[in-house]
Structure 1
Amino acid sequence: MEENQNKNAFLTPILVAVALAVGVWVGTMFVPQGTIGAGDPIAENSNKFNTILELIEDKYVDSVDHEMLIESSIEGMIKKLDPHSAYIPPADLGLVNEQLQGNFGGVGIRFLIHDDTLTTTHVIPGSPSERAGMLPGDRIVEIDDTTFTGWDIGNEDVQDYLKGEAGTNVKVKVYRKGDFKTLNITRGSIPISSIDAAVMLTDKVGFIKLNGFTYNSAEEFHTAAVKLKEKGMTKLVFDLRNNGGGFLNTAIDIADEFLESGKLIVYTEGRKNPKQEYYSTSKGILEETEVVILINSLSASASEIVAGAIQDNDRGLIMGRRSFGKGLVQDQSEFTDGSALRLTISRYYTPTGRSIQKPYGEDVDYENDYYARYESGELMNEDSIKYDENLKYTTKGGRTVYGGGGIYPDDFVPNDTVGASYYLSSLYYKSAFNHYAIKVLDTKRSSFTDFAKFKKGFRITPTIFEDFIAYAGTLGIEEDPIDIVTSRATIKNRLKAEIARHVWQENGYYSIYLQDDLDVQEALSWFRSGEKLMSLR
């Protein structure tokens, strides 16, 4: 099983619904080998299960769906093990593996259903759509002669038509500035980047936000870091907030970028899997770069491995709120019917020996842990955090760290509620910022060509602000004068950031948004002070 641990182990994130979006793909087809001996409890219970199915078929009052019974029985059995072992039905496995592998077959656009019309918001550089001549702002009115206007279009409807195997063709008719154009697009392999943003915050401080640990993430992270170093980066804010995890090996490779050779990154151990230690190599390009890692309650699994390795090796500062607390490793076996089983095979431990897996079991409301943290005040007050003194560990540098329920930050930053209001939440829920950005760019896109000029000079004037509030009303968002005053600065920031996203994609968005991000601003303050960070080196 050493090979399984080294190449096939993975770390799924938080809830099963989320776990089906991230994790690790093993790629083995499972075919039962050999026979089970007589008297074996597995054989006896298998016979019992088959007998029950036969009795249902012979005697049950109504007709039954045998496949449904078997699938639900498997799911029920797996749920009895732990929160992260999971059965993945055939219908879901393709999407799971697609997201983990970091690519899919498609045309390479991002879209929004705007005014009942499918609107292109971004065209991926080098994608089939760009080669065919599609532009941001194009309205897609037909796909393969099927009309995509004037009816209740859903995202799944669009994906069903645009996604497909690389090399297949799709015909798209778009409306652009009064004219209709037909584009013949040959689908290709479209990358799913795990880097949301890689930008410079100051002349010396870089920022990288990673959204998952996929097959390509380590290479993507390395490339982003190289580019930022070329721009003068000597300090890095590494954002792992809301990152639910992924490949174990990817976490190891990314942690290795920060650590000098020979440092323990993580080790795994299970009942059938002997202890396996993973050490850093000499290949890291960020060994001399000061780092602050941002985490929150949705930073899980592989994110916690990286944060734990940095913290336990006294290599950088962990900032934010306590992470999720997922310390189990799964192995995935795929079956001939297209389904798969993710089975927990070991636990992982940080370099000091911490298991950060939070409690689970019959009497634990595992999936609602976030709400328990909210109710206890932990998200807002450091004094409300409960440490288990029986799980206290000490790093070589003398720092006290704790196990048993996530990575505890070195520097606690309360959940940012500045500008929060019901009205602001409604704007997000209705995608008001996104829709209004399209409205603005329909007439002004050509004037936005220089990001530095936009960042410095473009302002959300009172006229633009009031027009946005009025536009939000057309989306069914009722004005609330008190909430609008409360959220005014946040609304202006998000609106400018969203316009930037539509022109300069995620780097443009985050360059504006992060000016208003409490965690990032706290990280910049730490870098400016320098005292504690240097003491960790």
Structure 2
Amino acid sequence: MDMQDIENKYNKLIIRIPVFLGLALALGIGIGFMISIPRKNTVSEQSSKITEVLSLIQNNYVDSLGLDSTANFAIQKMLQNLDPHSSYFPSDDAPLAKSQLETDFEGVGIEYEWVKDTLFVLYPAKNGPADKAGVLAGDKVIAINNENLAANTTQNTLFKKLRGKKGTSVELTILRGKNIQKISVIRDKIRSYSVYAYAINSEIGFIKVSKFAEKTDLEFTEALKKLVEKDKVKKIIIDLRDNGGGFMDRATKIADEFLEAGNMIVYTKGKHKRYDQEYLATKGGIFEKGDVVLLIDEGSASASEILAGALQDNDRAILIGRRSYGKGLVQVPFELSDGAEMRLTVSKYYSPSGRCIQRDYKNGKPYDKNLVERYKNGELLHEDSIHYDSKQVFKTKKGKKVYGGGGISPDYFIPLDTTDLSTSILNLMRENKLREHASLFAKNNKKILIEMGLDKFDKGWQIEINTFRNIVGNISMNTTQSDYLKLYYKSYLAKVLWGNEAQIQIRNTQDKAVLKALEVLK
């Protein structure tokens, strides 16, 4: 298997880490603090030195340059020298960074993927502006307001073009099949969701948390109440895989629903006492007694690890999957006078047993290549390749051994599914043929499929073999790869027709971690 394919597979996650994990604990801890920065002689002296250097550059450097970009670069490098999660966002980039955890915003309402020089529409929000205007899943946006998109178009540029005040319009040039058309979309208020839930059977409920955003705790509580009160489930599976974190207090509030009053959820320690906090469970949790399984992997980070650590250390959940990311540093946001934002690490957080799960970032190895290193070392594929720090052994309430210094380790190991890492499968995915066909199939057969209903679709519908072969062409694949692609097609078709929860429900039927959770909960 080509290592470049492995790098490509995790590219989105690796890119997301500095931006998304920079938000992970910042606002949850930082709200309510008014920070005054002390002015000491040493700071003043160094500040004068930096000003002097910038002045010399501006007045004497041979080529013209932007002083803002030079200063921004210097600040970024200075923070990178501290730790991997202290970060700086110039005023132009700060709105995009903050938007990662927004729940309510104004825009066009599409979930998209950026492929080469094309914005590929994954899903227009149901009854949202784009949906009402006629944008379909599978459409390719090749221009916005008559400005062609190019390979070097940045996420920040896309963000600025698509977001805007309610009532304003944006014109999208759409490539649908071989036809090009222009669609005018009137921006409106959009609500994004981070929690998806359904009852797997009469006993077990499933809750997927994609991130810890502004209203994730409220969404989670609503979903949990429905599963318990309406569906009468007795056991819960929580899926935190590929959840890079978010607001810390949303994670602690969710943990509180599963822990009895007085139990420790998490605590923080910093240089100053104002950053030392304890989070304890309160009375009245919705699910303090039932069995819980929690799914994690190498993409579970920050607030995800707080929730996982709280439930594991209090012996309230069985963890299934792979070792989590390992982010145990807490950032606080400082807004600068020009609208830029600095997120500075001010403390570390500790799980109830006393472990800090921050992985080593001073060992000389590239921090953001950790996932690739884990794959090379065999850790993502073989449980016996995982090496624990024997100096950081802790115990849960009931005496089970757990380890610090590098993420949360599960109770049951599930190896990485490498089916979609083969070169042929990756190339097929990049071409988007499966999603394009599924989108058109949904459009042409919507009435029949909707009348069938999700349950019947889940149990009985399969893509016709000749149709599948026409889509994938003559690429060589084994039965496992073929089954994977058929499930991928079916789950995406379900998403187009019924939304994200339907896609998750279809995927879970063959998900090894979910199947293991069902086995454990029997």
- In structure 2, give the amino acid aligned to 1:466: R
User: Tell me, which stretches of 5 or more residues in structure 2 are unaligned?
Assistant: 1-13
Give the counterpart of 2:494 among 492, 500, 504. Answer: 500
SS in 1 for 2:48: helix
- Show the counterpart of 2:219: 220
- In structure 2, give the amino acid aligned to 1:109: I
> 362-371 or 376-385, which moves further after superposition?
362-371
> 97-106 or 514-523, which moves further after superposition?
97-106
* TM-aligned CA deviation for residue 389 of structure 1: 1.9
Instruction: Map 1:5-404 onto structure 2 (within 5 A).
Output: 15-19=17-21, 24-25=26-27, 26=30, 36=39, 40-110=41-111, 122-129=123-130, 132=132, 134=134, 136=136, 146=146, 160-170=160-170, 186-195=186-195, 197-229=196-228, 230-273=230-273, 275-361=276-362, 363-404=364-405
Could you say what the CA RMSD is over the residues aligned between the two structures, in angstroms?
A: 3.5
- Show the counterpart of 2:7: none
SS in 2 for 1:357: coil
- In structure 2, give the amino acid aligned to 1:411: Y
Give the counterpart of 2:509 among 506, 510, 515. Answer: 515
- Show the counterpart of 1:4: none
Cα 1:13/1:270, change in 2 over 3 Å: farther
* TM-aligned CA deviation for residue 186 of structure 1: 4.5
2:458 corresponds to 1:455: yes
> 281-290 or 412-421, which moves further after superposition?
412-421
CA distance in 1, matches of 2:173, 2:360: 54
Cα 1:288/1:432, change in 2 over 3 Å: farther
- In structure 1, give the amino acid aligned to 2:468: F
Does the Cα contact within 8 Å between 2:133 and 2:184 map onto a contact in 1?
no
CA distance in 2, matches of 1:339, 1:176: 39
CA distance in 1, matches of 2:370, 2:396: 28
> 51-60 or 104-113, which moves further after superposition?
104-113
Aligned residues: 502
- Show the counterpart of 1:425: 426
* TM-aligned CA deviation for residue 401 of structure 1: 0.9
Does the Cα contact within 8 Å between 1:13 and 1:245 map onto a contact in 2?
no
* TM-aligned CA deviation for residue 342 of structure 1: 0.3
- In structure 2, give the amino acid aligned to 1:225: L
Does the Cα contact within 8 Å between 1:93 and 1:339 map onto a contact in 2?
yes
SS in 2 for 1:332: strand
SS in 2 for 1:345: strand
Does the Cα contact within 8 Å between 1:28 and 1:334 map onto a contact in 2?
no
SS in 1 for 2:330: strand
Give the counterpart of 1:480 among 475, 481, 489. Answer: 475
Does the Cα contact within 8 Å between 1:24 and 1:214 map onto a contact in 2?
no
CA distance in 2, matches of 1:145, 1:101: 25
CA distance in 2, matches of 1:107, 1:419: 31
Cα 1:447/1:272, change in 2 over 3 Å: same
SS in 1 for 2:509: helix
Does the Cα contact within 8 Å between 1:266 and 1:348 map onto a contact in 2?
yes
Does the Cα contact within 8 Å between 2:393 and 2:404 map onto a contact in 1?
yes
* TM-aligned CA deviation for residue 469 of structure 1: 1.8
Give the structure-1-normalised TM-score: 0.84
Cα 1:411/1:141, change in 2 over 3 Å: closer
CA distance in 2, matches of 1:172, 1:69: 35
- Show the counterpart of 2:9: none
Give the structure-2-normalised TM-score: 0.86
Give the counterpart of 1:464 among 461, 467, 474. Answer: 467
Query: Which protein is bigger by CA-based radius of gyration?
Result: 1
> 496-505 or 166-175, which moves further after superposition?
166-175
- In structure 2, give the amino acid aligned to 1:375: K
Does the Cα contact within 8 Å between 1:13 and 1:301 map onto a contact in 2?
no
**Residue identity (%):** 35
